[in-house]
């Protein structure tokens, strides 16, 4: 099992803030870690492009967050959380536990919040038109008069028949499954939005660390 | 003993409280997920009956079940995630508590005083470790029980005393693995004498030992597996609760060969068979696995004691 980029960042951040100072400068360690994380994002993007040679990954939500810009941004965010918590607590193991909890909570909040925001960007598409590149938010049934029904509502209207229809499905004529989906073309916008949120939280975490270091007693 | 407990709490207060809080959250979520799954099964018996008709996606095709099915999928996913948490819990509890026992005292230079005043370093180590072992054991028993409750709710048809379903994510193995990881954590702490490096090395040792024991136990289990005919309709009910450890082909003379031996042979010249460890062997295998990992944990603790006796107190 390998440590993910975010976990590595937490460890380095806490190591910088919560361990006793030594004569060795820690700046190269932090710089090397940031470079390594950026390289991870670039390599993830290359790996994705090699694995999916036919896909246009500039307009595709496949492996969102596991390739490209979001990898170093998520890592920098966790780094800042580790740094801030380490500076506040001043003890390595408690800082590691607290940073893991705070980082997980904040990151989950970012993911859930972003997903909820992204859902407002969804458009109604025929199910087969979503393809691999978009993100399906919800599947509904479109009634012959254009209403979008939940499956239970559609069941109540009897949208399925016992007999196989001409199109090979059991749906009665006029009914069809549609997806509320965010098309793949919106991928760059959503990457930029999540990156901006993470950048803001990273700056905030670094600010907390700076304030804690300036204010705290050196023991 | 009371002095040992008080000292342990003072030394590792944050970790003990944080892990207790984490356990409370996990248990609460497990009970919530199990209660919701049970309630859905009670309120929609026709949707989740074992013989309910299902569509090509595995969803019940009974009218009016779509919303209930979607709700069940959501709670089941939470249950799945919680069982991953219960699988990882012994690693977190064992490492966080085990690493600090020796490493923190070396890091803070309190070991030198204790070792110079005390009559025996072994006695010192036992005094530091025993309360932690009891505390970790208590937390992991609670987590294991919570995992068992979730497993029962996710698979109500399963006989939990005779099933390898989600093996190692619930029940006694959660506690037993904690003993191994705790021992490895103490070893890493005694070896390195610094908390964060010891945590990283302890994690690497844990990954290596858990992988090694899993591979060895799989091989051991494979030697006990029975061959069950894998007919055109798939595996029959006789393997319910069993663990699939591999596929073979059975030749007309009864020999069991690897699947690749069937390449080029005519259809019907052999029978596909599944190698299964039956579910009624589950209790025996839990006992064996627990014995192996607890034995390794005791060995690790012995190694930690040897390191403590030999090392310089700085």
B106–chain A Cβ distance below 8 A for any pair: no
B174–chain A Cβ distance below 8 A for any pair: no
Distance, CA of B271 to CA of B279 (rounded, Å): 23
Q: In A34-175, where do the E strands start and end?
A: 123-126, 135-142, 148-149
Distance, CA of B115 to CA of B131 (rounded, Å): 19
> Nearest by CB to B195, which of A93, A150, A156?
A93
Taking 70 as the pLDDT cut, the residues of chain A under it are 1-27, 165-168, 219
pTM assigned to the model: 0.79
A92–B14 CB contact, under 8 Å: no
pLDDT tens sequence across B147-200: 999 999 999 888 899 999 999 999 999 999 999 999 999 999 999 999 999 999
B14–A93 CB contact, under 8 Å: yes
pLDDT score, position A15: 59
Distance, CA of B160 to CA of B187 (rounded, Å): 35
Measuring CA to CA, how many Å separate B201 from each of A25, A136, A159? 23, 42, 59
Token pair in block for residue A81:
């959380």
Evaluated on CA atoms A160, A163, A169, A174, the torsion sign reads: negative
**Interface predicted TM-score (ipTM) of this complex, two decimals:** 0.73
Q: In B11-148, where do the E strands start and end?
A: none
Token pair in block for residue B300:
């690790």
- β-pair partners for B277: B243
Residue of B nearest to A92 (CA): B196
Q: In A63-128, where do the E strands start and end?
A: 123-126
Name the 3-class secondary structure at B90: helix
pLDDT score, position A1: 38
- β-pair partners for B60: B54
* C-alpha distance from A209 to closest chain B C-alpha (Å): 20
> Nearest by CB to B63, which of A15, A96, A155?
A155
A101–B15 CB contact, under 8 Å: no
B32 exposed, middle or buried (CB, 10 Å; 0-12, 13-18, 19+)?
middle
> Nearest by CB to B66, which of A1, A15, A152?
A152
Residue of B nearest to A96 (CA): B196
Chain A residue numbers with beta carbons less than 8 Å from the beta carbon of B99 are 93
**Is-contact B138 B132, C-beta < 8 A?**
no
A92–B196 CB contact, under 8 Å: yes
The residues on A that touch B, with CB distances below 8 Å, are 1, 11, 14-15, 19, 91-94, 96-98, 101, 150-152, 155-156
pLDDT score, position A3: 45
* C-alpha distance from A58 to closest chain B C-alpha (Å): 30
Distance, CA of A4 to CA of A43 (rounded, Å): 14
> Nearest by CB to A97, which of B15, B70, B207?
B15
Distance, CA of B241 to CA of B278 (rounded, Å): 7
> Nearest by CB to A19, which of B96, B196, B199?
B196
B16–chain A Cβ distance below 8 A for any pair: no
> Nearest by CB to B66, which of A96, A101, A155?
A155
> Nearest by CB to A15, which of B67, B196, B207?
B196
Other beta carbons within 10 angstroms of residue B69's beta carbon come to 23
pLDDT score, position A154: 86
- β-pair partners for A177: A141
Chain A residue numbers with beta carbons less than 8 Å from the beta carbon of B15 are 93-94, 97
Taking 70 as the pLDDT cut, the residues of chain B under it are 55-60, 231-239
> Nearest by CB to B96, which of A93, A150, A151?
A93
Size of interface A-B (CB pairs under 8 A): 43
Chain A residue numbers with beta carbons less than 8 Å from the beta carbon of B66 are 150-152, 155
Task: To the nearest 10°, report the CA torsion of B260, B266, B270, B272.
Answer: 60
Chain A residue numbers with beta carbons less than 8 Å from the beta carbon of B18 are 94, 97-98, 101
Buried b (16+ CB within 10 A) or exposed e, A147-183: eebebbbbbeeebbeeeeeeeeeebeeebbbbbbbbb
Residue of B nearest to A159 (CA): B63
Radius of gyration of chain A (CA): 23
B66–chain A Cβ distance below 8 A for any pair: yes
Closest CA to B94 of B27, B6, B174: B174
Chain A residue numbers with beta carbons less than 8 Å from the beta carbon of B44 are none
pLDDT score, position A14: 64
B64–A155 CB contact, under 8 Å: yes
Q: Which residue has the tokens 């993470």?
A: A198
* C-alpha distance from B187 to closest chain A C-alpha (Å): 17
Could you tell me how many residues make up chain A? 219
Residue of B nearest to A170 (CA): B55
Phi, psi dihedrals of residue B162, rounded to the nearest 5°: -145, 50
Closest CA to B173 of B89, B108, B100, B243: B89
> Which residue, among A93, A157, A159, would best test binding to B if mutated, counting the most B CBs under 10 Å from its CB?
A93
B64–A94 CB contact, under 8 Å: no
Which helix (H) or strand (E) element contains residue A8? helix A5-18
Token pair in block for residue B209:
């030992």
pLDDT tens sequence across A165-202: 666 677 888 888 888 999 899 999 999 999 999 999 99
Residue of B nearest to A10 (CA): B196
Other beta carbons within 10 angstroms of residue B113's beta carbon come to 11
């Amino acid at each position: 099992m390998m440590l993910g980029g975010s976990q590595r960042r937490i460890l380095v951040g806490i190591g910088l803030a919560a361990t006793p100072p030594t004569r060795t400068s820690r700046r190269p360690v932090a710089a090397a870690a940031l470079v390594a994380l950026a390289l991870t994002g670039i390599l993830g993007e290359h790996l994705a492009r090699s694995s999916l040679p036919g896909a246009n990954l500039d307009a595709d939500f496949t492996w969102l967050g596991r390739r490209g810009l979001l990898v170093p941004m998520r890592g920098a965010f966790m780094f800042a959380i580790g740094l801030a918590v380490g500076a506040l607590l001043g003890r390595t193991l408690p800082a590691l536990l607290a940073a893991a909890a705070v980082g997980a909570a904040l990151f989950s909040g970012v993911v859930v919040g972003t997903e909820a925001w992204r859902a407002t960007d969804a458009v109604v598409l025929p199910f087969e038109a979503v393809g691999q590149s978009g993100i399906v938010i919800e599947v509904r049934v479109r009634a012959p008069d254009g209403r979008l029904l939940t499956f239970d509502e559609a069941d109540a209207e009897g949208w399925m028949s016992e007999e196989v229809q001409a199109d090979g499905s059991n749906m009665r004529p006029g009914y069809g499954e549609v997806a509320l989906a965010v098309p793949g073309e919106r991928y760059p916008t959503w990457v930029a939005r999540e990156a901006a949120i993470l950048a803001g939280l990273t700056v905030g975490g670094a600010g907390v660390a700076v304030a804690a270091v300036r204010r705290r007693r050196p023991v | 003993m009371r002095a040992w407990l008080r000292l342990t709490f003072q030394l590792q207060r944050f970790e003990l409280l944080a892990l207790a809080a984490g356990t409370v959250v996990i248990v609460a979520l497990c009970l919530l997920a199990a209660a919701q799954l049970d309630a859905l099964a009670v309120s929609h018996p026709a949707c989740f009956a074992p013989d309910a008709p299902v569509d090509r996606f595995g969803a019940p095709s009974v009218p009016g079940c779509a919303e209930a099915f979607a709700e069940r999928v959501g709670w089941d996913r939470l249950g799945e995630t919680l069982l991953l948490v219960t699988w990882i819990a012994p690693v977190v509890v064992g490492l966080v508590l085990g690493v600090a026992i020796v490493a923190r005292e070396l890091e803070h230079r309190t070991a030198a005083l204790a070792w110079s005043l005390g009559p025996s370093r072994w006695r010192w180590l036992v005094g530091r470790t025993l309360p932690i072992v009891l505390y970790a054991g208590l937390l992991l028993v609670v987590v294991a029980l919570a995992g068992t409750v979730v497993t029962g709710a996710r698979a109500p048809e399963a006989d939990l005393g005779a099933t390898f379903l989600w093996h190692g994510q619930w029940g006694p193995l959660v506690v037993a693995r904690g003993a191994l990881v705790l021992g490895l954590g103490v070893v890493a702490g005694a070896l390195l004498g610094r908390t964060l490096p010891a945590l990283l090395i302890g994690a690497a040792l844990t990954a290596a030992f858990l992988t090694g024991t899993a591979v060895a136990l799989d091989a051991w289990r494979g030697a006990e597996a029975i061959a069950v005919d894998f007919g055109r309709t798939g595996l029959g009910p006789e393997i319910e609760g069993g663990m699939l450890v591999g596929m073979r082909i059975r030749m007309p003379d009864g020999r069991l060969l690897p699947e690749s031996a069937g390449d080029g042979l005519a259809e019907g010249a052999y029978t596909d068979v599944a190698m299964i460890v039956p579910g009624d062997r589950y209790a025996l295998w839990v006992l064996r696995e627990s014995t192996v990992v607890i034995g390794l944990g005791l060995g690790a603790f012995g190694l930690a004691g040897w390191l403590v006796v030999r090392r310089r107190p700085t």
